[in-house]
A and B are shown apart, each in its own frame.
Chain A
Amino acid sequence: MVMASAGPLQDEIASGAAPSQSLSAKGFSAEGLPVIRLDRVEKWYVTRDGPVHALAATDLVIAQHEFVVLLGPSGCGKTTLLRMIGGLIAPSQGRLQVMQRDLWKGQTRQSNAVSDLGMVFQDANLFPWLTIEENVALPLELKRTPKKQRLSRARALTDLVGISGFETRWPYELSGGMQQRAAIARALSHDPGILLMDEPFGALDAMTRDTMNIELQYIWMKTRKTIVLVTHSITEAVFLADRIVLLSPRPGRIDTVVDVPFERPRSLDVQMTERFQTIARDLRHRLAENA
């Protein structure tokens, strides 16, 4: 089922990777190519009780193909950070680059930088008036891709995320987990290099969440996207990440960055190992100190 989709997807991934080759010629190694770069990025919110410092000046570089998890308690600015990278809110200060292009010029979003981003939200946010395949193909429709092409792409993607057979259903006919799979397929459909995920499995039950974590790892290995995922689950973070960026609140700032060395593919059993437990425990202590 999944193998059948490998052909067209791999082709498109190959074509999507073309710019990176030309960039690597300028002196970046393919592994270390920075696709997201934050330079003293800062966010203030204006509220009735005066300004709130949501995110203190932050530096962060995320490399191509990396799986980075932003971890922290609520109010630590992790969602703010992700939404700024996703082009949904403007930073108050600093410079934010995606694929070497400035994402913001003042308060104005640069649309050419956004096309490399795919976003998955906490709720699937599928449009109820579109069928699953129409939802998945929506980004392509907005880019005026011919119908035949976008539907075949949608089918390949529903296959990849494991919901083939549901293409012509309405969103309400699918379970929460399956809707979120469709949302991931939608975020991948215009073949962005970067996938931004804002607590994508936060609304799901624990068992579905485990399954989705395994699936996401599989999708990541297959598509080799750069993934930035926000979560407040330590286990999820350690299971998924190459690198965990731990944030602390008031004001939101990067506390520590932790490398997670486990080999891929990781099975759920890795959670039982001592190293996993050690990393998780250290993170938990770190979180408790800052709370």
Chain B
Amino acid sequence: MTDKGLTSAPLSPPGDPARAARRDLKVYLPWITTPALCLLLVAAWWAYIDVSGISAFILPTPESVWHAWIGLLQSKRAWIDTVMTIYATLLGFLWAMAAGVGLGVLIARVRWLEQTLNPFIVASQVLPKVALVPLFVVWFGFGVTSKVLIAATLAFFPILTNTVLGVKSIDRRHGDVMVSLNATRWQVFRKLELPSSLPYIISGMEVGIVLALIGAIVGEYVGGDLGLGHLLVARMNAFETDGLFAVMIHMTILGSLFYFAISLLRRALIPWHESAPRGTRNV
């Protein structure tokens, strides 16, 4: 039945109910497969604990992780940690945006500036940025400043390189249009350069926001007594492996929310671009 349906698919008319059903299935498939796979994963996890008799310190049961996470959600202290991490991530990200987009536009436009700065950019990109964490703690203390800085440092480079790429990818023929229309420098920036490089900048932001979160968490590992990174280390030191898992889940949800926010931005700002979902493009 399905075999026949598949081979005759190109011939069936648009109104064909079987074809419509298959299209619906394609749309809803992730809504079925994702929970199913999650359940399967949890079942395998449970089965492994059952069969191997592994210690709860090494691998806690899904049930105890679930309870630990609920406990986390009910703990006021954990929410303070969450807010601190969000704060460091967002502030660092905003600094990275300002510096990355600003410097990126300059570098892409001013040839000698690019040539002068390029060796330093490459060198600092090659340097593992998390190596700076201890230094930042020495310089800026155990407060939130060092976390913001490390988040900004990590998020800066993908935003910078994508901005440079975006500004350099502007179609010269579009530039001709603006010249022939007698556009001012500001109009060229506002009407051509900015919208044209926006898809690139948003791609940089997508990478940048996740890196900013990583930066903030790594910063919290090393210094201070606040933030989800600190909470994670505290759980490890207390040998609360289920709590460790709970904080990891918490961080994953946070990261997903950040990423989702940037995707929303993509839909809102560049509905005309290939990367935007189909539904929003055919307005």
A interface list, Cβ under 8 A from B = 86-88, 111, 114-115, 117, 119, 121, 123, 125, 127-130, 138-139, 141-142, 168, 170, 172-173, 190
| Chain A interface mostly | loop
Is there an interface contact between A88 and B281, defined as CB atoms closer than 8 Å? no
Closest to A123 in B: B173
Is there an interface contact between B191 and A114, defined as CB atoms closer than 8 Å? no
Q: Given A127-B192, A127-B195, do A114 and B182 touch, yes or no (CB 8 Å)?
A: yes
Closest to A128 in B: B272
Residues of B within 8 A of A88 (CB): 176, 179-180
- Distance (whole angstroms) from the CB of B268 to the closest CB of chain A: 13
Residues of B within 8 A of A117 (CB): 180
Q: How many B residues are at the interface, by size bracket?
A: 20 to 34
Closest to A187 in B: B180
Question: Does B183 count as interface, using CB distance less than 8 angstroms?
Answer: yes
Closest to A111 in B: B182
- Distance (whole angstroms) from the CB of A23 to the closest CB of chain B: 22
- Distance (whole angstroms) from the CB of B147 to the closest CB of chain A: 36
A-B CB contact pairs (8 Å), 18 listed: A87-B179, A87-B182, A114-B182, A117-B180, A121-B176, A125-B174, A125-B177, A129-B270, A138-B177, A138-B181, A138-B191, A139-B181, A141-B191, A142-B182, A142-B187, A168-B283, A170-B272, A190-B181
What number of A-B contacts does a CB cutoff of 8 Å give?
55
Q: Given A88-B179, A142-B181, do A127 and B270 touch, yes or no (CB 8 Å)?
A: no
Is there an interface contact between A142 and B191, defined as CB atoms closer than 8 Å? yes
Closest to B195 in A: A129
A172 to B276 CA separation, bound complex (whole angstroms): 13
Is there an interface contact between A125 and B173, defined as CB atoms closer than 8 Å? yes
Question: Does B162 count as interface, using CB distance less than 8 angstroms?
Answer: no
- Distance (whole angstroms) from the CB of A60 to the closest CB of chain B: 20
